Amino acid sequence: MPSGKVHDKITLVGAIIAIPVWWYLTPAPQNGAIGGTLVVSTLFSGWLLSPDLDLNSSIYKRWGPLRFLWYPYQKMIPHRSWISHSWFLSPLMRVGYLLVMTWLMSWAMLWGIRQASGLGPGVPETTPLDLVQSLYSRYPQHTLMTILGLIFGTALHTGADTLYSSLKRRQ
């Protein structure tokens, strides 16, 4: 497989190439913030939500003190499986996983604060699904570009792995 540094460079080049492609395919007038959303979500997908999160990799280590969030994911998902390296399912699954883990962490912190302050139990009233629905209803184009960028970032990674494996088999 290509090294982490190679994957990082491929992600950067892919994000740069996405700009003129987006510009050409978007009807005028183009909104730069929406194009920026595509670029940032592609970089986020490749640099922080990589299919290699199922390993003790540089991607995993980039999460710093929050990498513990990905430990259950590493134990559940086998490396290079169709689950972790799917072009469409895996980036959306990792975002869903991150939203759920963040929600659970927020819920636990709020519960702890309410218990310590004597206010009694309390839980967040919104769920991760509520958040996604709210974002889509307020910012539909940004949400779609985010999804496209997340898929594109994973596709770059998985495509590089597939090409590398294919070339290695031919040798």
**pLDDT tens digits, 5-41:** 899 999 999 999 999 988 888 887 888 899 999 999 9
Number of Cβ within a 10 Å radius of residue 59: 23
Residues of the chain with pLDDT under 70: 120-125
Please give the pLDDT value at position 118.
72
Please give the pLDDT value at position 84.
84
First to last CA, the chain: 14
Please give the pLDDT value at position 124.
61
> DSSP class of residue 1?
-
Instruction: List the domain boundaries for the chain.
Output: 4-170
Please give the pLDDT value at position 151.
95
Amino acid in position 169? R
DSSP calls for 103-162: HHHHHHHHHHHHHHHTS-----S--HHHHHHHHHHH-HHHHHHHHHHHHHHHHHHHHHHH
Please give the pLDDT value at position 123.
59
Please give the pLDDT value at position 95.
93
Q: Do 160 and 6 contact (CB within 8 A), yes or no?
A: yes
Measured between alpha carbons, how far is 4 from 11 in angstroms, rounded to an integer?
10
Please give the pLDDT value at position 122.
61
